[in-house]
Structure 1
Amino acid sequence: MEGILIGACIGVLLGTISGCTPGIHANTMAGILLGVHPALLILFGPSVFAAAVTATLVTHTFLDAVPSTFLGVPDPDTAIAVLPAHDLCMKGLGEEAVRIAALGSAAGAGFGLVLFPLFFYLLPPFQPYLDWWIGLLLLAVAGLLVIRSEAPEWAAAILAVSGVLGSFTMAYSHLSWQVLPGGSPLLLPLLTGLFGLPILLKGAEGTIPEQRFTEIRMNRREIAGSACAGTVAGAIVGWMPGFSNATANAVLASFISYTRQGRGYILATSAANTANAFLGIAALYALSRARNGAMAAVATEMLPPVLTLVSAGAIAAVIAYPLTILASKGSRYLVRVNVRRLNLSVIIFLVLLTAVVTGPFGLLVLLLATAIGMVPPLVSVQRVFCMGAIMVPIMIWSILGVPLF
């Protein structure tokens, strides 16, 4: 138990850093921990490394709402959620947005622990069937989103073009640099270009309004419904191969409108993000499949008892929730900051980070993704269709068996 507690504390620290730093993913911290694993083994024992990686992942799912809300910078796991969250921030309700995200992550952790035994014991025999049908599910979700859009032709076109870009990016990912440890470095320029830079480039003038918080403006039924929907989506994504939380974002968008039900969407995506972390542990132990970079790092060593990872994740969730609430209060220091200058600073930072982490190929992906991301508002189409960059490659892999990543 001592090793679990030490690992959880290390993970909470690293997850807080990665969650609050734009462009840094929990997978990066997992790679760093993998590099110092021999020292951790000597100092603390074998269980500390796995506990630290798990706690980092879970903590990151809580704190990543902070830069998404106040800076408008998307995290690869919650790309679409940046839209309603940043919108609330510009209305002076950024602290509420972060608190909603924290509540969603807490619900995702709780429900994820409840679903853990069900997934762990009952689903493995059905896995070969699930791997194939999930592609058809995504195809149905994409079709539903297109049909329900205000301009179906443009929606289908954006979905297809972004899908081509996503497939191209994943197929030629070997052309990018791999400076930082952790997988999928090209998700940074891909999703930043589709969801981050277009918002920052069109940023409003003036200053960030005074942030105020009185209460979370959602009733219990809305909270429960969004939390359940997010947990189910996150659990499915955490179990299925090749998926990321970005896929869960797109699936949730077919049920919860991020424009009309922004608060519910923030809560649901946060619940999905955290539930994904816990069900990814179940997939690692039940199927011997690593669903994310953090679990891949854990799998490089002899696996400790499953209770070690689950306990570390639960401890991290308990600590990360009040940390996220505390971080939300930092919005008060952003009052009267010039929006245009802030956006320009963030844009420069993201471009430089992309150049350093992924090199020239990453900059090309960022440029192409930004060009596509600028189109939806011009043709009255929701930006969710840019998620074709993630959905189309997974559909190709699932249905046709052609791996692109």
Structure 2
Amino acid sequence: MTAAPRRPTALVAAVALALLLGLQPVTTDLYLPALPAIKAELHASMHATQLTMAALLLAFGFGQLVAGPVADRFGRRPVLLSTLAVYLLASLSAVLAQSIEALVLVRIVQGVTMAGVVVVARAMVRDLYAPHEGARIMSLGQSGLGVIAITSPLLGGWLTGHLGWRTNFIAVALIALATLVFVATRLPETIRQKNPRALHPGPLLAAWRTVLTSPTFHAWAGLSAATYGGLFVFLAGSSFVYMQVLGLDAAHYGLALCSSSVSYLAGTFVCRRWLVRHGMAGAVWRAAGFTLLGGLSMAALAAAGVQTVWAILVPQLLYAFGHGTHQACGQTGAVGPFPQQAGVAAALAGFLLAVVAFFIGQWLGLALDGTTRPLAYGIAAGSVVTALIAWTTVQRHGGVH
């Protein structure tokens, strides 16, 4: 019998989750203010520029399908250390990119390695905690992620405006280096028992079948993918809307993006209070009201021809507030029923999320038309789907034991 893993302190666990999960907003939010500059300097089309985000997310999705079983087979630490090291090298390579094609290739490598980091972080929560306690710990980590998400666009906007877009990737590389050092020196292995057959086709397919036939997995993974889908519309399209349609510069766009992250952070704090009083299903039931109000109000203002910063900013604050609950509960709930297949469950949930984001990115690259309408309608669609899942499927099948 393998001994139980050495449990990190609550502080170490919270910092580790914040750094590991925070690598995702660092990879996306920090470079968002640079998108118009990248498009101009590399003489790229709108579709090709959007591909730097969409390809990242698709690679992120497929990478999780591999990283999850590998982490179940060899342990969490080896996957974390190796993927962080390659991610660091890819980030430095982005600084040297001379064409949009080269940058897309580097972003694919970032996506694959980021997958290993994020899927292991989610699996580690299930290694160490029961589902309800895991939701609280995940919410703590999401609060730290919120702080990172707040600072990333501010830093990205300042760097783009003063030093050029390539310095954004230098900052990403430094953050990756700090995360790698923390994991190497402070984070122990958390898996209780490695699965020597995790990569064998038979057991792997059996694990996938177990996860994919679970109504509970469908409920929580669907919620997580839907709420992130609406957020991804904002992430992929807001720089062009705020800067090219509404006239903000990179620094002020960073402030607008930062405000959304502040609202998200507030949502994670309220999430923890709701979890104590109402449980996971009750928490997302309440958060869905904020999500739907934000999405529908943004769409209504856009349809009425109101093209101002506030018509996008205020509804997005409502959407981001709800997202703070949906993402913490969705990620935990999707993995909660599968203590023996935590890596596989986290990978499949992440794959679904990434595929949704990829197709949204492809649509958005064609739909942006110099108005706020495509952005607003896309976020509204995400809000409707999120609320429907939160109020129906999660309430029927979201119980995690």
Q: TM-score, normalised by structure 2?
A: 0.37
Instruction: Choose between structure 1 and 2: higher helix proportion.
Output: 2
Higher RCO, Cα 8 Å, sep 6+: 1
Normalised by the length of structure 1, the TM-score is 0.37
